[in-house]
Amino acid sequence: MEENEKKSGFQETLDKVEDQFKNAPDSTAEYDQADINSNKVMAILAYIWILFLIPLLVAKNSKFARFHTNQGIVLFITSILVGILSSILSKIHLGFIGWILDVVVFIFALIGIINAAQGKAKELPFIGKYRILK
């Protein structure tokens, strides 16, 4: 009986993770289409590590670029934290966990780039709900 309970608990966790990826909040309708079209490149740059500084400085009046810049900053901070954690884990011979987290950060960057290129203002899974820029 416990085995079935563990499987259902594990399945419940998997379902929650899947829901985060499939149903991340999408606020695209709140953005002007002209703003989206003229700032897609800036939005894409926001997800390439420190390059979030370019749209932060160049497209500061674009609501769409600002949304993606915020997502990029949150991702950047997450990547730094993951790097620190990976370093610690490698010292105690658990480096594979750090590697997995690095892959997750990379996947989040790809998701952000794809959303920006498609003109969507969709939050990144798990970390996208945090706001640094107003």
- pLDDT tens digits for range 83-104: 999 999 989 988 899 899 999 9
Sign of the torsion angle spanned by Cα atoms 76, 45, 27, 125: negative
pTM of the shown model: 0.86
User: Which has the higher per-residue pLDDT, 2 or 31?
Assistant: 31
Please, which pLDDT band fits residue 13 given cuts at 50, 70 and 90? confident
Over residues 29-37, the mean pLDDT reads: 97
d(CA 49, CA 78): 10
Q: What angle do CA 40, 78, 133 make, to 5 degrees?
A: 55
Every domain of the chain and the residues it spans: 26-117
Those residues whose C-beta lies under 8 Å from the C-beta of residue 115, and which sit 6 or more positions away, are 68, 121, 122
- The token duo for 6 is 């563990």
Q: Each residue of 39-71: pLDDT tens digit?
A: 999 999 999 989 999 999 999 999 999 999 999
Please, which pLDDT band fits residue 1 given cuts at 50, 70 and 90? very low
d(CA 49, CA 118): 20
Look at residue 133 in the predicted model and tell me its pLDDT: 87
